[in-house]
């Protein structure tokens, strides 16, 4: 994986600092051309991987990328699925039954209820595979070497102890899409235990990792211990701690941690993109790492 990954929160008005900034971002990125312009600004400083949700607008961004293969040669997308808000909105508009009909073809739920508990795990795996296929349609023809399971679902399955769905996701994206599975979580140590127990070694895990312990289940110390002593390809997200940490200080902390393979960040301006990349490369160079 590349050292620096560009995220999509700013494109869809997700801001952990203020509602006012969210509204401003919503206005700024109301046109697809504004998203493409910002992606091109990220590419100009050497960021060639875009990690994004499967928001409906991303399908149009993929259309633009497919239409200009020469310009976007070497550009990669890491899809993060499923996009929970899409299904929540569908339930609101269509009801539960309507959402199932729209997104889950066939009669899997009928089979599940008729077959009882004995078929529950198998049916959930089938549903997972169908949802992955539905979400991946928009990325046809785009390089997607890593496919992520969103933290809402990763952590739900952790809580339900539905570990076979997590390992099933790993095996399915490898078999069907020749891609590696990634997992987004708010509990990196617990997820790593589960994946290793399921036979997945050195997994790709994206988690909140920052100096103040923001959204780090169990606390910063257990994360630092896990990164130091365990085998994991970690992606650090929310490195600014929801806006509580100055950018330079945030990047210095993360760059000095072991086993941080990549750093994920989002930005809405060219200046912020350039400043973040400069900070990461400065601290990586000081540690003797090539960014």
Least reliable range by pLDDT among 8-22, 103-117, 147-161: 103-117
Share of the chain above pLDDT 70, in %: 84
Max intra-chain CA distance, the chain: 62
Q: Can you tell me whether residue 91 is helix, strand or coil? A: helix
Q: Look up tokens 């630092």; give the residue.
A: 224
Share of the chain above pLDDT 90, in %: 74
CA–CA separation, 51 and 34 (whole Å): 17
Report yes or no on 260 lying in a domain. Answer: yes
Number of domains in the chain: 1
Q: What is the mean pLDDT of the chain?
A: 89
pLDDT number for residue 12:
87
Report yes or no on 291 lying in a domain. Answer: no
**Is-contact 220 213, C-beta < 8 A?**
yes
pTM confidence score: 0.88
pLDDT digits 0-9 by tens, 82-117: 876 666 565 567 675 666 566 655 544 444 444 444
- CB within 8 A of 272, min separation 6: which ones? none
**Is-contact 135 147, C-beta < 8 A?**
no
Whether pLDDT at 156 is above 70: yes
Whether pLDDT at 15 is above 70: no
What is the pairing mode between strands 204-208 and 233-237?
A: parallel
CATH code, domain carrying 28: 3.20.20.100
Average pLDDT for residues 161-180, to the nearest whole number? 96
Whether pLDDT at 17 is above 90: no
Report yes or no on 270 lying in a domain. Answer: yes
pLDDT digits 0-9 by tens, 217-234: 999 999 999 999 999 999
- CB within 8 A of 221, min separation 6: which ones? none
Element containing residue 3 per DSSP (H, E): none
State which residues form the domain around 148.
4-286
Give Cα 161 distance to the centre of its chain.
Answer: 21
Report yes or no on 158 lying in a domain. Answer: yes
pLDDT digits 0-9 by tens, 112-143: 444 444 344 556 788 888 889 989 999 999 99
pLDDT number for residue 154:
95
Report yes or no on 118 lying in a domain. Answer: yes
Q: Can you tell me whether residue 157 is helix, strand or coil? A: helix
Report yes or no on 216 lying in a domain. Answer: yes
Report yes or no on 240 lying in a domain. Answer: yes
Task: At 184, list the tokens.
Answer: 């987004």
pLDDT digits 0-9 by tens, 236-265: 999 999 889 999 999 999 999 999 999 999
Least reliable range by pLDDT among 37-41, 52-56, 144-148, 169-173: 52-56
Report yes or no on 123 lying in a domain. Answer: yes
Whether pLDDT at 278 is above 60: yes
Whether pLDDT at 291 is above 60: no
pLDDT digits 0-9 by tens, 32-60: 999 999 999 999 999 999 999 999 899 99
pLDDT number for residue 121:
53
């Amino acid at each position: 994986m590349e050292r620096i990954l560009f995220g999509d929160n700013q494109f869809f008005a997700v801001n952990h600092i203020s509602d006012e900034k969210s509204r401003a971002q919503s206005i700024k990125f109301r046109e697809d051309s504004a998203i493409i312009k910002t992606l091109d600004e990220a590419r100009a400083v050497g960021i060639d991987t875009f990690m994004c949700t499967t928001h409906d607008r991303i399908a149009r961004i993929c259309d633009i990328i497919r239409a200009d293969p020469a310009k976007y040669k070497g550009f990669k997308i890491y899809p993060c699925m499923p996009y929970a808000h899409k299904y929540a909105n569908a339930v609101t508009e269509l009801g539960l039954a309507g959402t199932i009909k729209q997104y889950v073809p066939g009669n899997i739920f009928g089979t599940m209820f008729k077959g009882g508990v004995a078929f529950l795990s198998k049916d959930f795996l089938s549903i997972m595979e169908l949802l992955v296929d539905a979400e991946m349609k928009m990325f046809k023809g785009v390089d997607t070497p890593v496919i992520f399971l969103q933290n809402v679902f990763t952590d739900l399955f952790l809580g339900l102890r539905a570990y076979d769905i997590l390992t099933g996701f790993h095996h399915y994206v490898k078999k069907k899409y020749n891609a590696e599975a990634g997992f987004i979580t708010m509990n990196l140590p617990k997820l790593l235990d589960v994946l290793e127990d399921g036979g997945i070694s050195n997994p790709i895990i994206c988690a909140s990792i920052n100096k103040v312990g923001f959204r780090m289940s169990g606390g910063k110390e257990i994360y630092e211990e896990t990164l130091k002593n365990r085998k994991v390809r970690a992606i650090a997200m929310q490195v600014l701690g929801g806006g509580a940490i100055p950018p330079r200080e945030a990047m210095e902390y993360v760059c000095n941690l072991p086993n941080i393979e990549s750093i994920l960040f989002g930005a809405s301006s060219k200046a912020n993109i350039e400043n973040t990349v400069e900070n990461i490369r400065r601290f990586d160079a000081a540690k003797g790492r090539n960014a």
